[in-house]
Amino acid sequence: MKICVGVFFGGKSTEHEISCISANQALHAINAEKYDVLPIYISRDNEFYIGDELFDLANYADILKDPGAHLSKVTLYKDGNTVKVRPVKGLFKKEIQIDVAFPIVHGTNVEDGSLAGYLQMLDLPYTSCDVLGGALGQDKAAMKDIFKAQEIPMVDYFVIYNADFEENYSDYFAKAKEIGFPLIAKPANLGSSIGIEVIKTQKEFKEKISECLRYDFKVVVERMIKDLMEVNISLIGGSEEVRCSAIEEVTNGFLDFDKKYQPGGAKGSKKLGNKAGVKNAASKGMASTIRKVPADLSDEKRNEIQQIAIKAFRALNSFGCVRIDFMIDKETDKVYCNEINTIPGSLAFYLWKEEGVSFDEECDILIRNALNRYARRSRKTYAFDTNILDNYKKK
Ligand SMILES: Nc1ncnc2c1ncn2[C@@H]1O[C@H](COP(=O)(O)OP(=O)(O)O)[C@@H](O)[C@H]1O
Ligand SMILES: [Mg+2]
């Protein structure tokens, strides 16, 4: 019998649709001769669905409007040593056993450790970060504090809390002036440039931070790099072993959500030019990201980025396939670690392809790593027999 891989995607997140696109790419990349592939769609209401229509992205516009009209609702449960998908409502009537979960979810309520916690409770092996890794990867303030403790280079930053913004305004403002304007303010828990504000002058500080605090309870404020080169690297592995991909340069990282993901959205953006190696649109999900793979970097810089990335990967308790994004200040040539994406768009397959790892091989490695982690963890002791409760028995 083949191993059954449940590909989980969607969820109650602003990046719901991007996750559908990323997942669909993987559904077709996972080697069907080796694995049974079961798409498990999580609706915006956190309902779980299965159905053959999920294999074709052309159906998704209709599915998202009314999942119940197209798919069968399911629930997952543990049955002895196995995990089963049980139909609850809809055409599908048979139970299916799944052996490993392949989460391809982005953003809050899913990628932030929530889905990992659910899978962990089900005792199902899964390909992505565990609860801690997912949570640290989602919260920019927690992530940066961990990076700082590990002396990973970052631009100067501080965190503003909604709860005491008014009360401690003068302290916050003093910190901002100390770093110097322009600044960038980011809601701690969002992605895809949602809610990010550029604060050009002192005069704008209060208004822009208040705007940012509409999105989150915490906002990260940092020095804005004026002459910026953005480079990203993917890593695959876990606590024991990790491997680095090629490095890409992206030119339009700071686009708003619409421009980033709507086809044709980046028409006005600066392009890298038509140099060889410039790739447009690695996927529709990144329709407007202009990327150059590999980035033009000296061996020394590439090595520096790889070493920082490995340190960051470990510091954040990462697992699976992640992408770590860097900023290079072109004025000083200094490299700064910006953030981790614990389940990157398109699973960064285009960076692995450059290293000679095809997308189906990448998926295969992730599945094998998940099964190995599960086996390793099973060998650790999580329970031991005691007779404490015997003392409470009625004599
Ligand atoms: N300190 C900074 N200086 C200059 N540009 C920045 C800075 N921080 C972020 N940006 C720009 O904003 C984009 C989005 O910020 P990022 O921290 O990656 O958040 P997100 O989670 O929304 O991707 C980056 O890709 C980069 O283009
Ligand atoms: Mg980013």
Ligand 1 neighbour 249 (Cβ under 6 A): no
Give tens-digit pLDDT for 376-393: 988 876 666 778 888 898
In this prediction, residue 277 has a pLDDT band, given cuts at 50, 70 and 90, of very low
Structure tokens at 390: 């015997």
Domains of the chain, start order: 3-126 (3.40.50.20), 156-223 (3.30.1490.20), 228-378 (3.30.470.20)
pLDDT over threshold 70, residue 284: no
Mean pLDDT of 286-311: 91
Ligand 1 neighbour 191 (Cβ under 6 A): yes
Ligand 1 neighbour 225 (Cβ under 6 A): yes
Q: Which atom of ligand 1 is nearest to the CA of 224?
A: 3
Question: Strand locations in the chain, DSSP E?
Answer: 3-10, 35-42, 48-50, 72-79, 82-89, 96-98, 100-104, 157-161, 183-187, 197-199, 218-223, 228-237, 242-250, 278-280, 290-292, 320-329, 334-341
Of 368 and 256, the one with more pLDDT = 368
Q: Which atom of ligand 1 is nearest to the CA of 222?
A: 1
pLDDT over threshold 80, residue 175: yes
Q: Which atom of ligand 1 is nearest to the CA of 336?
A: 1
In this prediction, residue 274 has a pLDDT band, given cuts at 50, 70 and 90, of very low
Give tens-digit pLDDT for 325-367: 999 999 999 999 999 999 999 999 999 999 999 999 999 999 9
Mean pLDDT of 112-136: 98
User: According to the model, what pLDDT value does residue 254 have?
Assistant: 61
User: According to the model, what pLDDT value does residue 339 have?
Assistant: 97
Q: Kindly give the distance from the C-alpha atom of residue 109 to the centroid of ligand 2, in angstroms, as a whole number.
A: 18
Give tens-digit pLDDT for 217-257: 999 999 999 999 999 999 999 988 999 999 999 987 565 44
> Whose CA is closest to 137, among 286, 305, 322, 10?
322
CA-closest residue to ligand 1 atom 6: 224
User: According to the model, what pLDDT value does residue 381 have?
Assistant: 65
Stated as kind and residue range, the H or E segment containing 301 is: helix 299-315
Ligand 1 neighbour 71 (Cβ under 6 A): no
Ranking 143-147, 193-197, 231-235, 293-297 by mean pLDDT, the lowest is 193-197
Of 136 and 389, the one with more pLDDT = 136
Of 239 and 278, the one with more pLDDT = 239
Q: Kindly give the distance from the C-alpha atom of residue 229 to the centroid of ligand 1, in angstroms, as a whole number.
A: 11
CA-closest residue to ligand 1 atom 21: 191
Ligand 1 neighbour 105 (Cβ under 6 A): no
User: According to the model, what pLDDT value does residue 285 have?
Assistant: 44
pTM for the predicted model, two decimal places: 0.90
**Alpha-carbon gap, residue 320 to 325, rounded angstroms:** 16
In this prediction, residue 77 has a pLDDT band, given cuts at 50, 70 and 90, of very high
Mean pLDDT of 310-332: 97
**Alpha-carbon gap, residue 161 to 71, rounded angstroms:** 42
**Alpha-carbon gap, residue 199 to 224, rounded angstroms:** 9
Q: Kindly give the distance from the C-alpha atom of residue 205 to the centroid of ligand 2, in angstroms, as a whole number.
A: 22
Q: Which atom of ligand 1 is nearest to the CA of 225?
A: 3
